[in-house]
């Protein structure tokens, strides 16, 4: 893993940010951290991370990161989702060549792990 900037926009190196989450070296501590790692997984086409971090109660049978070339992430609101919370919400805009995706993502924490539940 290189010290290139993490695509999620924190300004930290990939190896010190989302990289360890994508390689399962550690788990996300907050809903925002998981959301950022999921964005990074989309950037790299890492379907396994997307599948593993999606709540099994709402996850589709097949998770496909798609073909979009992602160019930036902006977090506009975070509600709860801290280390001691059971739920959290992250509102963001993810930009890609040709457009953007704005979403209000819901997360749940079960067994000490954060999962993406749904987006609106």
Burial of residue 35 (CB within 10 Å: 0-12, 13-18, 19+) is: buried
Is position 55 within any domain? yes
Listed in order, strand segments (DSSP E) in the chain are: 70-80, 87-96, 99-110, 113-119
pTM value is 0.96
Number of domains in the chain: 1
Place of tokens 């999620």: 8
Encoding tokens for residue 113?
Answer: 């792990």
pLDDT, one tens digit per residue, over 51-60 is 999 999 999 9
**What is the C-alpha to C-alpha distance for residues 113 and 12, in angstroms, rounded to an integer?**
23
User: Per-residue pLDDT tens for 4-40?
Assistant: 999 999 999 999 999 999 999 999 999 999 999 999 9
Print the domain residue range for 93: 14-119
Residue 29 lies in a domain: yes
Please give the mean pLDDT across all residues of the chain.
96
CATH number at residue 40: 3.10.450.50
């Amino acid at each position: 893993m290189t010290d290139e900037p993490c695509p999620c926009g924190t300004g930290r190196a990939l190896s010190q940010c989302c990289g360890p989450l994508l390689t399962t070296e550690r788990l996300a501590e907050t809903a925002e951290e998981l959301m950022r790692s999921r964005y990074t997984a989309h950037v790299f086409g890492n379907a396994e991370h997307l599948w593993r971090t999606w709540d099994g109660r709402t996850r589709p049978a097949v998770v496909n990161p798609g073909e979009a070339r992602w160019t930036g992430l902006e977090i506009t609101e975070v509600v709860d989702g801290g280390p001691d919370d059971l739920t959290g919400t992250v509102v963001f805009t993810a930009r890609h060549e040709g457009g953007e995706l704005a979403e209000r993502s819901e997360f749940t924490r079960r067994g000490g792990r954060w999962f993406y539940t749904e987006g609106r």
